[in-house]
Amino acid sequence: MKTIQKLLLGLGAGLLLIGCGNNSKSDSGAMASSNAEKVYVAPGEHDEFYAFLSGGYSGNLTVYGLPSGRMFKEIPVFSQFPTNGYGYSEESKAMLNTSFGFVPWGDSHHPDISQTNGKLDGRWVFINENNTPRIARISLETFETEEIIEIPNSAGNHASSYVTENTEYVVAGTRFAVPNPQKDMPIDEMKGEFKGPLTFIKVDQEHGHMEIDFQINMPGFNYDLSHPGRDKSHGWFFFTSYNTEEAHSMQEVNASQNDKDFIAAVNWMKIKEYVENGGGTEVAGTYAHNIYDESTMMATTEMKEGVTSVDPREVPGAVYYMPVPKSPHGIDVNPTGEYIIGNGKLSTQLSVYSFAKMQEAIKNKDFDGDAYGIPILKYESVLEGVVDSGGLGPLHTEFDGKGFGYTSFFISSEVVKWKVGTWEVVDRQPSFYSVGHLTIPGGNSREPFGKYMFSMNKITKDRYLPTGPELEHSAQLYDISGDKMELLLDFPTHGEPHYAAAIPADLIKSKSKKYYDLEDNNHKYAAKSESATRVERKGNEVHVYATTVRSHFSPDNIEGVKVGDKVYFHITNLEQDFDVPHGFAMIGANTSEILIMPGQTKTIIWEPKREGVWPFYCTDFCSALHQEMQGYVRVSAKNSDTKLRWSLDDEWKE
Amino acid sequence: MKTIQKLLLGLGAGLLLIGCGNNSKSDSGAMASSNAEKVYVAPGEHDEFYAFLSGGYSGNLTVYGLPSGRMFKEIPVFSQFPTNGYGYSEESKAMLNTSFGFVPWGDSHHPDISQTNGKLDGRWVFINENNTPRIARISLETFETEEIIEIPNSAGNHASSYVTENTEYVVAGTRFAVPNPQKDMPIDEMKGEFKGPLTFIKVDQEHGHMEIDFQINMPGFNYDLSHPGRDKSHGWFFFTSYNTEEAHSMQEVNASQNDKDFIAAVNWMKIKEYVENGGGTEVAGTYAHNIYDESTMMATTEMKEGVTSVDPREVPGAVYYMPVPKSPHGIDVNPTGEYIIGNGKLSTQLSVYSFAKMQEAIKNKDFDGDAYGIPILKYESVLEGVVDSGGLGPLHTEFDGKGFGYTSFFISSEVVKWKVGTWEVVDRQPSFYSVGHLTIPGGNSREPFGKYMFSMNKITKDRYLPTGPELEHSAQLYDISGDKMELLLDFPTHGEPHYAAAIPADLIKSKSKKYYDLEDNNHKYAAKSESATRVERKGNEVHVYATTVRSHFSPDNIEGVKVGDKVYFHITNLEQDFDVPHGFAMIGANTSEILIMPGQTKTIIWEPKREGVWPFYCTDFCSALHQEMQGYVRVSAKNSDTKLRWSLDDEWKE
């Protein structure tokens, strides 16, 4: 290795070793006791905040309570979820379609809750997929994924999915510079040839539906993270970039040569106007747009073609670069919108930029040259101050709404609290170990709720009982209501949480849906009463219109199915009460089970391969007679003349 | 409905309504404070017990700590797991093969920890799959699934996977009576025609490998749960059965007509001898046997044919039925092995049988007729006592090793503590809500650790912040160290836990593997150093022998791949330290990502569909330069002559 990386990695390792001795001093005696009470949510009581943690390589979104650190749900988003059949059932599998075909797995990174006037409004959570660039929208009434849109012409959508302060837009960015349009070319000729499109996706305010509005075809750097301006800086969006060296190999070393990389400051309001007035060029770009319709209970894919591409150099005053030391990772904006924080991950300092100074520098054309035609604002002209922390490797900053910023330092493995305005460090706490993002409920809005902060740490090692070589990652919850941060709790996470969004429970709990109204069930194959249940043959397709209610299926005996048939079980759960799901499993099905919520219809396919009498059953312990909730299907030979008939309690119908 | 079921269900619903008001009185004030301290595990400290909870419809096994109730790991067993590529990667996908083909999902029910001399020995956890009858073995060194064996001629393997007191056998049972052998026949002629095979699987004591020893071809009732005898009753196994009515439809009503169903008492030692002496008949039965080899890091499937079937009537003194009221669910044996508990799920009482009395009744041929040739022991002759609890719907009983039993009552939604010997009820606590199984660490062995008990509850409703119609299930942790049970904590679970096995952490934590030794890596496609990395073409197959180390792939640039190729990425993680996994994701791959533990090699396939330069990257935040850990593959047209070459840091090789 050529540069400071060896030193940095060495330092990191050293600090980790120091950290491994369970040397957290504040955990014992009276302090531990009071911390115990602070995180304890007694049986029958509820947590104060919801936290939505990304699942990273799980592709999902997990829901936790704060301060207890308990996981309440894993919401499947970009990955198949055998638990309830998401990504397997006929209704849901379209959600995982992409322009590359069906992709069973995703890598979810940064959830962001919808906002109105810069405040959390609790309508939706958005979350991005990195590997196959996509953004998903999850309903905060049903806690289900309702929509996934793919981002074409991009690779590694990491800078996503932050929203503007009225949820006008959610953004995506290219983490890996790629040819745009894609083409077969030598890798080592990438410099100047690859591009880094940033994508702005409009959000329909009524239904939340997403639509790609435009892509800004930026120079081919790696765009890492982003944050919207708010309040006075509303109308702007800020993106960090690294690998301004445009290295294509061994980036560990070759992408860390420049002393400064860039923050891209994008005046999206200006580009929006430009596009509305006919600006931009229609370019190729195939992408899947998947929507789950709660009424028909069916997800469908629309494969779309073409996006509006904007050359940033052709929209005067729309895009600038601000220099930031070294290989910045996170970019954050304080609640007033005045300060923009660049977290240079290989540096010791945080750079704080002033939005007012930026405006002034733009007016004065206070430039330090340009990068591929994008003006570079003079570092000194836009810099408001520096947080000189003494830490190493700042990654991300959150705000408490009381005038303080909290920054994670990966290499020195700590959280540093500092004062907005004076930039002085007022507290620091070691993290166990190697902290990534931090989250404060609303810490990403005009109105943070500065009672708790939690860190999402990358190394777990000795934090919990060992579970072999593979460990869950770990989070740490701090009380930040006082002057000093107080470590309360370690709690394991599921998947690899990157960012998390959190919100006071009171803002959403009352509108949480308890069941689906049978009357609103417009599923094509729903049987809305037992009298509507039936079995129909269409060629070698057999459609079973079945129902569940405690504690039987209707029908529960079926005959006349043949080897070679394709049997569609459409199961409607007739229950109309909270928390009475039924499940359905059929021996020999190569799809999955399905878990059906009250009022819902779901479908799986079974292709019987052998003659016999084969059972099915309910997979969710639903009542005292759950074990009796079963049925049989008789399967005859392909050429048999067994009549198609079905029954409940020996009343055969055909 | 014809019978008492309506009443029972009505009662259940009523009790649930009563239960819904957060009316847990012991949660406030000083008591809550001391409970908080009891469950609090301060940062840097460890839990006292491991608990292994079945995932039910998730098909997996989850690992929790007690008393904190924190989930440390989800171990994929019978289901695909996008998080780490289990069931998708080339190495692991054979684990999900069955005689019905590849089944991506399972329904796991009852974990049991291996025993020696009737005590937990912490070598392995076994867990059963219900839908596609199977048993899995999980290593407690690696916390990974090492083996899955299918059970032929069965349907709904629910009575599984309990082990005998030296882990000689693990058992399986047929929950749904089926034709054996399977045949196309009218469902309503099932009576007397269907069978209920019980399967005994031998466990190799060195490696834990499983082998089907024999199947007992029992009458066609539904076999629900089982427990081994121990100590004085070692050599026997007990199974509950229901639907002795042999109803095939609307079992909710029709399978609950008999006042008593049966416990099958099986002298497996006798049958073992019988089979060893040439007894039994070789019958058809196809089943998959999947083994993961830690050395080659590869799972393979052997499709096997034929099992030894034993007609229980032909082995004198081997199998008896004991009557038990009504539709029993759980069957449990106390630590001394003398008492066998039948939990009649539609009754109010627990029936306690004496092993000594059973022996005596057998000697005296104290029979009440027979069922399909199996002698029925007289109820009064084998009954030792009755726990007259006043509760309704007993499901399962655990023991604390201090002379008490703890029984869950589903319908009256409570846990009842009673004294072994006097059968008097000494305490009862409401559960929130509708409790299924209970677990006490070692509660299923000669030596329980009676400090904590937790209940796994079926209805969650208001226990946590709501998350839409779909909720996680809920567990409740009790302190049972004193005379009275004390409710300490509600904690959500993942999937639907049925049973759980728990063990003192000290018995296994020290042998938990931290990483895989590179020297022991015998994977066929491993590259054990960067100098061994290469790319090979074989027709349209391209094999990439790649490595990872903080923070780069080798190679990280590849050219000469063509549209239509099948690219195998074999990634070896060269790290040799605890908790330094790397991940691998390739845009456009329709398989999954893989998460590779230190020293391990894993493989995924990518079939590029479009020309271009496409990135791959590490999916697990591994270091300060994780974001730089990426590479590119150049994809050319099918007929192009782009040379196959690869590089790290611009040193191209071909």
CB within 8 Å of A227: residues ≥ 6 apart? A162, A237, A238, A331, A332, A333, A340, A444
Note whether A39 and A25 are within 8 A (CB). Answer: no
Q: Which residue has the higher pLDDT, B444 or B41?
A: B41
Test A255 with B628 for CB contact under 8 angstroms.
Answer: yes
Test A187 with B586 for CB contact under 8 angstroms.
Answer: no
pLDDT digits (tens, 9 = 90+) for B152-209: 999 999 999 999 999 999 999 999 999 999 999 999 999 999 999 999 999 999 999 9
Query: Nearest Cα to B359, choosing from B534, B235, B521?
Result: B235
Query: Nearest Cα to B150, choosing from B202, B98, B107, B106?
Result: B98
Test A464 with B65 for CB contact under 8 angstroms.
Answer: yes
Rounded Cα–Cα distance for residues A184 and A138 (Å): 37
Measured in angstroms, the CA of B280 and the nearest CA of chain A are apart by 24
Query: Nearest Cα to B304, choosing from B98, B110, B156?
Result: B98
Rounded Cα–Cα distance for residues A580 and B434 (Å): 12
**Residue A81, strand partner residues:** A86
A620 vs B contacts (CB less than 8 Å): 56-57, 496
Paired tokens of B243: 């639907």
The 10 Å Cβ neighbour count of residue A398 is: 29
Report pTM.
Answer: 0.96
Closest residue on chain A to B60 (Cα):
A83
3-state secondary structure A571-619: EEECCCCCCCCEEEEECCCCCCCEEECCCCEEEEEECCCCCEEEEEECC
Measured in angstroms, the CA of B204 and the nearest CA of chain A are apart by 22
What was the pLDDT predicted at A23?
Answer: 36
Test A156 with B615 for CB contact under 8 angstroms.
Answer: yes
The Cα diameter of chain B in Å comes to: 87
Residue A461 confidence class, pLDDT cut points 50, 70, 90: very high
Test A9 with B624 for CB contact under 8 angstroms.
Answer: yes
Test B494 with A71 for CB contact under 8 angstroms.
Answer: yes
> What is the domain partition of chain B in residue ranges?
59-511, 518-653
What was the pLDDT predicted at B33?
Answer: 67
CATH top class, domain B59-511 = mainly beta
What was the pLDDT predicted at B326?
Answer: 87
* pLDDT beyond 80 at B15: no
pLDDT digits (tens, 9 = 90+) for A395-421: 999 999 999 999 999 999 999 999 999
Measured in angstroms, the CA of B316 and the nearest CA of chain A are apart by 31
What was the pLDDT predicted at A643?
Answer: 97
In one letter, which amino acid is B616?
F
The Cα diameter of chain A in Å comes to: 87
pLDDT digits (tens, 9 = 90+) for A210-222: 999 999 999 999 9
DSSP string, B543-580: EEEEEEETTEEES-EEEEEETT-EEEEEEEE---STT-
What was the pLDDT predicted at B22?
Answer: 37
pLDDT digits (tens, 9 = 90+) for B356-373: 999 999 999 999 999 999
- Closest partner residue to A70 (CB to CB) among B190, B492, B642 is B492
Test B242 with A627 for CB contact under 8 angstroms.
Answer: yes
CA dist list (Å): B331 to A633, B69, B241, B420: 30, 27, 10, 15
Test B590 with A103 for CB contact under 8 angstroms.
Answer: yes
What was the pLDDT predicted at B32?
Answer: 64
Question: Any chain A CB within 8 A of the CB of B456?
Answer: no
Closest residue on chain B to A174 (Cα):
B615
Return the residue in B52, B57, B414 with the most chain A beta carbons within 10 A, the one to mutate for interface testing. B57
Question: Any chain B CB within 8 A of the CB of A514?
Answer: yes
pLDDT digits (tens, 9 = 90+) for B93-138: 999 999 999 999 999 999 999 999 999 999 999 999 999 999 999 9
pLDDT digits (tens, 9 = 90+) for A23-72: 333 444 556 669 999 999 999 999 999 999 999 999 999 999 999 999 99
In this structure, the strands spanning A557-562 and A630-636 are parallel
Question: Any chain B CB within 8 A of the CB of A482?
Answer: no
| Three-class SS state of A146 | strand
Q: Which A-chain residues 205-224 have CB contacts (< 8 A) with chain B?
A: 222, 224
Test A187 with B557 for CB contact under 8 angstroms.
Answer: yes
pLDDT digits (tens, 9 = 90+) for B591-602: 999 999 999 999
A104 vs B contacts (CB less than 8 Å): 80, 82, 88, 590-592
CA dist list (Å): B487 to B12, B403, B406, B429: 22, 20, 14, 8
Closest residue on chain A to B249 (Cα):
A649
In one letter, which amino acid is A579?
D
The CATH code belonging to domain B518-653 is 2.60.40.420
In this structure, the strands spanning A169-173 and A194-203 are antiparallel
What was the pLDDT predicted at B31?
Answer: 64
Across A429-443, A484-498, B10-24, B146-160, least confident range: B10-24
Rounded Cα–Cα distance for residues B372 and B377 (Å): 14
Question: Any chain A CB within 8 A of the CB of B257?
Answer: no
In this prediction, does ipTM exceed 0.90? yes
What was the pLDDT predicted at A326?
Answer: 87
Rounded Cα–Cα distance for residues A225 and B176 (Å): 54
A559 vs B contacts (CB less than 8 Å): 186-187
Question: Any chain A CB within 8 A of the CB of B34?
Answer: no
The residue-averaged pLDDT of A230-241 equals 97
What was the pLDDT predicted at A5?
Answer: 43
Percent of chain A with pLDDT over 90: 94
pLDDT digits (tens, 9 = 90+) for B372-400: 999 999 999 999 999 998 899 999 999 99
Measured in angstroms, the CA of A44 and the nearest CA of chain B are apart by 5
Test B131 with A491 for CB contact under 8 angstroms.
Answer: no
* pLDDT beyond 60 at B338: yes
CA dist list (Å): B65 to A371, A460, B316, B477: 54, 15, 46, 11
Question: Would you call the peptide bond into A608 cis, given omega within 30 degrees of 0 as the criterion?
Answer: no
Residue A591 confidence class, pLDDT cut points 50, 70, 90: very high
Q: Which residue has the higher pLDDT, A5 or A322?
A: A322
Rounded Cα–Cα distance for residues B76 and B81 (Å): 6
Rounded Cα–Cα distance for residues B111 and B441 (Å): 12
Test B70 with A628 for CB contact under 8 angstroms.
Answer: no
* pLDDT beyond 70 at B16: no
Residue B453 confidence class, pLDDT cut points 50, 70, 90: very high
- Closest partner residue to B466 (CB to CB) among A175, A509, A613 is A509
Paired tokens of B344: 């009649």
Rounded Cα–Cα distance for residues B467 and B444 (Å): 34
Q: Which B-chain residues 267-326 have CB contacts (< 8 A) with chain A?
A: none
Return the residue in A63, A194, A249, A636 with the most chain B beta carbons within 10 A, the one to mutate for interface testing. A249
Closest residue on chain B to A20 (Cα):
B44
Query: Nearest Cα to A235, choosing from A199, A271, A279?
Result: A271
Test B632 with A46 for CB contact under 8 angstroms.
Answer: no
pLDDT digits (tens, 9 = 90+) for A104-163: 999 999 999 999 999 999 999 999 999 999 999 999 999 999 999 999 999 999 999 999
Closest residue on chain A to B188 (Cα):
A650
pLDDT digits (tens, 9 = 90+) for B258-308: 999 999 999 999 999 999 999 999 999 999 999 999 999 999 999 999 999
3-state secondary structure A467-528: CCCCCCCEEEEEECCCCCCEEEEEEECCCCCCCEEEEEHHHCHHHCCCCCCHHHCCCCCCCC
Whole-angstrom distance between the N-terminal and C-terminal Cα of chain B?
76
Test B465 with A489 for CB contact under 8 angstroms.
Answer: no
Measured in angstroms, the CA of B312 and the nearest CA of chain A are apart by 23
Paired tokens of B223: 């076999």
CB within 8 Å of B179: residues ≥ 6 apart? A612, A613, B185, B193, B194, B195
Could you give the residue ranges of the DSSP H alpha helices within A246-376? 251-254, 268-276, 355-363
Return the residue in B103, B252, B592 with the most chain A beta carbons within 10 A, the one to mutate for interface testing. B252
Test B70 with A69 for CB contact under 8 angstroms.
Answer: yes
Measured in angstroms, the CA of A97 and the nearest CA of chain B are apart by 10
* pLDDT beyond 80 at B59: yes
Residue B435, CB half-sphere, CA atoms under 13 Å: how many?
A: 33
Report the b/e string of B313-341 with b at 16+ CB within 10 A: eebeebbbbbbbbbbbbbbbbbbebbbbb
- Closest partner residue to A65 (CB to CB) among B256, B465, B583 is B465
Question: Any chain A CB within 8 A of the CB of B47?
Answer: yes
Question: Any chain B CB within 8 A of the CB of A539?
Answer: no
Question: Any chain B CB within 8 A of the CB of A3?
Answer: no
Q: Which B-chain residues 97-136 have CB contacts (< 8 A) with chain A?
A: 100-107, 130-132
What was the pLDDT predicted at A6?
Answer: 41
Query: Nearest Cα to B157, choosing from B200, B120, B115, B188?
Result: B200
CB within 8 Å of B7: residues ≥ 6 apart? none
Test A80 with B84 for CB contact under 8 angstroms.
Answer: no
Measured in angstroms, the CA of A635 and the nearest CA of chain B are apart by 6
Interface contacts (A, B; CB < 8 Å): 538
Measured in angstroms, the CA of A498 and the nearest CA of chain B are apart by 9
Paired tokens of B488: 């300490």
Test B83 with A495 for CB contact under 8 angstroms.
Answer: yes
Residue A14 confidence class, pLDDT cut points 50, 70, 90: very low
A609 vs B contacts (CB less than 8 Å): 100-101
Measured in angstroms, the CA of B317 and the nearest CA of chain A are apart by 30
Note whether A436 and A460 are within 8 A (CB). Answer: no
Note whether B496 and B552 are within 8 A (CB). Answer: no
What was the pLDDT predicted at A113?
Answer: 98
Test B57 with A628 for CB contact under 8 angstroms.
Answer: no
